[in-house]
Amino acid sequence: MKQLLLFVLVVTGLSTARAGHNTSELCLTLDNNAPFMVSLDGANFFQPLHAYSFPNLNAGSHQLKVWKVIPGSWHCAPVKQLVFNGCISLPAGKRVDASITCYGTYFVNSMSPLFPPPVPVCCAWHGQYGGACQSNGWNDDDYEDHMGGGYGNYGGYKMPMSPQSFQGLKQTIMNQSFDQSKLSVARQALMGNYLSSAQVSEIMDLMTFENTKLEFAKSAYGKTVDQNNYFLVNNSFTFKSSVDELNEYIY
């Protein structure tokens, strides 16, 4: 009976965690803390607030519009001014705290786990039954890896962004007008995700200037799951000098 109860608790905990990894939460403000209105995926929220929170969102791409509310005078009604209109990407299992800057760009301030990983129940029984925790493929080392790895790192195996999430990231980058803004968004994505060498190259292709591509290639190397294939990013450079500088940085 105890074994059956233990199995049910473990399976329930793991199922809850996996379900949580498919959702996201967005907490949104304006840089100057002004009141604003929002439209998210066509749903309008036209009550002027200083902060909006959207729980239980599907991970991936979302269409976002933000209007800043300019207070009126005693004889003039408040005016709403469109400050952002674009596609954003939300990683799975994350709470994203973001803001719209005074330049009209979407900026991720921080990301945190939405649901903590489950503690394998059998580990709590070590003192009574002894032995290693092996229920449903978990062991103590896997749990430590899971706790420390963050998004995209499960049981010690680092996974690149899913095609859906990556497409949302590319769209967000393409919405930026300047290379430095594109670089900032791309670096934000590296805070909570891993990429493949091919994905790094695709992001570089969205940038115009050689030095911006080189900066991102340097930043992304440590968050690339297949570093043995990093030669693929060389296809995104125009000049051999950039390839040489990247090789010097890596080796």
Query: What pLDDT is attached to residue 206?
Result: 95
Mean pLDDT confidence for 206-212: 95
Answer whether residue 243 shows pLDDT above 90. yes
The alpha helices in 159-196, defined as continuous H runs, are 163-174, 179-192
Q: Select 23-113's CATH number: 2.30.30, 1.10.1060, 1.25.40, 2.60.40.
A: 2.60.40
Map residue 161 onto helix, strand or coil: coil
Cβ neighbourhood burial of 228 (10 Å; 0-12, 13-18, 19+):
exposed
Instruction: Tell me the C-alpha distance between 77 and 18, whole Å.
Output: 48
Q: Please write the tens of the pLDDT for every residue from 69-125.
A: 987 666 677 788 999 999 999 888 888 888 998 888 888 888 888 765 554 444 443
Cα distances from 119 to residues 14, 33, 93, 124, in angstroms, run 9, 38, 17, 9
Give Cα 54 distance to the centre of its chain.
15
Instruction: Tell me the C-alpha distance between 11 and 111, whole Å.
Output: 27
Query: What pLDDT is attached to residue 124?
Result: 40
Task: For residue 38, give both structure tokens.
Answer: 């929002």
Q: Please write the tens of the pLDDT for every residue from 112-141.
A: 887 655 544 444 434 443 444 444 444 434
Percent of the chain with pLDDT over 70: 73
What is the β-pairing status of strands 52-58 and 23-30?
A: antiparallel
Orientation of helix 240-250 relative to helix 210-221, angle to 10°? 20
Which stretch of DSSP H or E encloses residue 73? Answer: none
Q: What are the structural domain ranges in the chain?
A: 2-20+115-158, 23-113, 163-250
Which contacts (CB < 8 Å, 24+ apart) does range 227-235 have? 227/197, 229/196, 229/197, 229/198, 230/197, 230/200, 231/197, 232/197, 232/198, 232/200, 232/201, 233/197, 233/200, 233/201, 233/204, 235/201
Map residue 136 onto helix, strand or coil: helix
DSSP of 106-124: EEEEEEEESSPPPPPGGGG
Question: Are the CB atoms for 200 and 215 separated by under 8 Å?
Answer: no
Task: For residue 170, give both structure tokens.
Answer: 């590319």
More confident residue, 171 or 118: 171
Q: CB under 8 Å to 54, separation ≥6 — which residues?
A: 25, 26, 27, 28, 40
Map residue 206 onto helix, strand or coil: coil
Cα dihedral 132→133→135→139 (10° resolution): -110
Query: What pLDDT is attached to residue 117?
Result: 56
